[in-house]
């Protein structure tokens, strides 16, 4: 009688531990990157809220030629956008027409991560520059 012993198939404990360790390392790298991605995606809603105001300031500047004539919602003839899930409020600074966007605490964004959008008058054109924690935290460049 020929009795052959079947070889057991499967993974050893050390092989399973190596796989678990590799998955742990991948998760440790992927989770923070994903959370940062979610914050950037949510912050686009804050930035989008300023687009109508930015456009109104640009048009006003092209017509009147001075940022001082375009530094309030009343002078622009617009209503500032209402808050959204991510956007709390938008303010326009007098005399400079700087737009300040304040976010709500939403998907990892903190309420103090404000973003300023500052116009600079050139020869008949405006250039815009972002500053504030939105730049510091990498939400915009």
| Per-run averaged pLDDT (10 residues), the chain, 141 residues | 68 95 96 93 93 94 90 90 90 94 95 96 88 94 82
User: 9 in a domain, yes or no?
Assistant: no
Q: Is residue 4 part of a domain?
A: no
- Does some domain include residue 2? no
43: domain CATH number is 3.30.700.10
- Give the residue from 83, 88, 79 showing the smallest Cα distance to 113: 88
The radius of gyration of the chain from alpha carbons, rounded to an integer in Å, stands at 27
Whether residue 22 is contained in a domain is answered as: yes
Within-domain flag for 6: no
**Residue 57 belongs to a domain:** yes
Number of domains in the chain: 1
Range(s) of the domain holding residue 67:
14-136
Q: Which residues pair with 89 in a beta bridge?
A: 102
In a domain, 8, yes or no: no
Q: What is the pTM of this model?
A: 0.78
Q: Which long-range contacts (CB under 8 A, 24 or more apart) does 7-14 make?
A: none
Chain-centroid distance of CA 104 in Å reads 12
């Amino acid at each position: 009688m020929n009795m052959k012993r079947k070889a057991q198939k499967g993974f050893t404990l050390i092989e399973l531990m190596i796989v678990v360790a590799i998955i742990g390392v991948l998760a440790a790298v992927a989770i923070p990157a994903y959370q940062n991605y979610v914050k950037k995606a949510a912050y686009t809603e804050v930035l989008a809220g300023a687009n109508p105001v930015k456009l109104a300031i640009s048009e006003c500047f092209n017509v009147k030629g001075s940022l001082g004539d375009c530094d309030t919602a009343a002078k622009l003839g617009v209503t500032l956008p209402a808050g959204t899930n991510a956007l709390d409020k938008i303010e326009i600074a007098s005399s400079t027409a700087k737009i300040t966007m304040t976010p709500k605490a939403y998907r990892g964004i903190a309420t103090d991560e404000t973003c300023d959008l500052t116009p600079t008058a050139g020869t008949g054109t405006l250039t815009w520059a972002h500053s504030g924690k939105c730049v510091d935290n990498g939400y915009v460049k």
